[in-house]
Amino acid sequence: MGGALTLLAVAFVSALVPVVNLEIYLGGVVLLGQPRSAWELVALAGIAAAGQLAGKAFFYLGGRGVLTATRWHRVAPTGVPDGSGSARRTRVAARKTRIAARLSRWEERVRERPRLSAVLVGTSACLGVPPFALVSVVAGTLRVGLPVFLLAGLAGRWARFAAVLALVQVCGG
């Protein structure tokens, strides 16, 4: 039980801190532990996937706008003196308008094809291409449903970690 909770915690932290590599940790669990059955590897992969999704949910919620940096710390306003920076402000406003229009188009595409978003989230969760942290934020921004994000992400992460565990078990044992 203690090993499962440790794995869950490491998986959660690895979802938030990029330098914590869960695949290496899983490899160590298999190589340094006693031989494991296929069902134990399936369970370990599930625990790792659940911990990762709990962490990546923060990225999703950040993209959704539920979690913002200003809620966590106070940001001092930075004023630009009058007469300077008006051209820059105009360019920034135009860029924000273009980005908002693109996001609106992609949000419409996601709404029209919900399976596409599940495939993208699941593929990214499994392969890491594009990076799952980035896809998590984009999924929140594009209003992909939370159940779709969680189920597709969990399936993809479970497949990834099951493959890592199986590979280490076969090659390292």
pLDDT 10s digits, 60-110: 999 998 877 655 555 455 555 555 567 788 888 888 788 777 777 877 877
Locus of tokens 């229009």:
101
Quote the pLDDT of residue 173. Answer: 60
User: How confident is the model over 129-148, as a mean pLDDT?
Assistant: 92
Measure Cα distances from 49 to 56, 96, 166 in Å.
10, 35, 15
* pLDDT > 70? residue 53: yes
Cβ atoms of 62 and 140 closer than 8 Å:
yes
* pLDDT > 80? residue 6: yes
How many other CB atoms are found less than 10 A from the CB of residue 121? 27
